[in-house]
Amino acid sequence: MPDALMLPGLFGLCYFAFAALALSVERHWRDLVESRRGPPRRTVFRLRLAALLCLAAALSVAVRHDGTGFGLLLWVLALSAAALAVAATVTWKTRSARGRAS
């Protein structure tokens, strides 16, 4: 993989993983997708599976590019960064959705 794509790829994969996990949380699903009911169980399962795959792919990208030590460290810290980014996105989206409703 080209060097320039490594970081965006790593953070993108982590971001998608946490975005999927965020949607599997009932509160965020109600706020962002369907306000009447929570996510169906099959959807929750699929979202979690997708998240798991994305996380594994991100780990393999990081370790392959930076070696085991640096790769693991980068992956763990990228997880936190991506989770914070997803939380910010959820806040922003929910806020604007509420603004429309009221």
Per CB under 8 A, residues contacting another protein are 7, 18, 21-22, 25-28, 66, 69-70, 73-74, 76-81, 83-84, 86-88, 90-91, 94-95, 98
Q: How far is the CB of 75 from another protein (least distance, A)?
A: 10
Q: How far is the CB of 27 from another protein (least distance, A)?
A: 7
Q: How far is the CB of 33 from another protein (least distance, A)?
A: 14
Say which residues have a Cβ less than 8 Å from residue 98's Cβ, sequence separation at least 6: 31
- 56 vs 88, beta carbon nearer another protein: 88
Question: 80 by DSSP, 3-state: which?
Answer: helix
What tokens were used for 52? 């798991």
Q: How far is the CB of 67 from another protein (least distance, A)?
A: 10
In the chain, what is the greatest distance between 2 CA atoms, to the nearest angstrom?
A: 51
The set of long-range contacts for 31-35, using a CB threshold of 8 Å and a minimum separation of 24, is 31/90, 31/93, 31/94, 31/97, 31/98, 32/90, 32/93, 32/94, 32/97
